[in-house]
Structure 1
């Protein structure tokens, strides 16, 4: 990220079309600041779609990992009785 990729939001209002074209043309994101702190970003919509796909894939991998841990515990006999499970869930 370059210094030119960080833009005050007040400046971005006047340059929005220019900034959007630069983001789409070069693939560089723009960070808009408010009162000197990061506030929002301008990102190519295709890249944002890709980020969402990655996020979904990561969530699936986490679920698969949890399922693997659960299966391993069952195979090793690490289970609880139904009554105990109900008690734990009620807490």
Structure 2
């Protein structure tokens, strides 16, 4: 049983770390995509997008939150696996 407890605690920590990493990767990928797109656009298109983006900013905030949730969820899942392994080893 102690193994399980240790596993869960360890798993959550590990999971959060991995979740954060995943989240950062996600955001970097998104930024890269955005950069590539803006390189290909004409100034006029960019101007229109600026206007749209200011409208989308409020949406983007929730997207960031979603990214965090996704990261944590993904992290917890991986962390649980990790925790079980740890638990078996120490159990």
TM superposition score category, shorter chain reference: 0.3 to 0.5
Structure of higher CA gyration radius? 1
Q: TM-score, normalised by structure 1?
A: 0.46
Which structure features the higher share of strand residues? 1
Pick 1 or 2: higher relative contact order, CA cutoff 8 A, min separation 6.
Answer: 2
Q: TM-score, normalised by structure 2?
A: 0.46
Which structure features the higher share of helix residues? 2
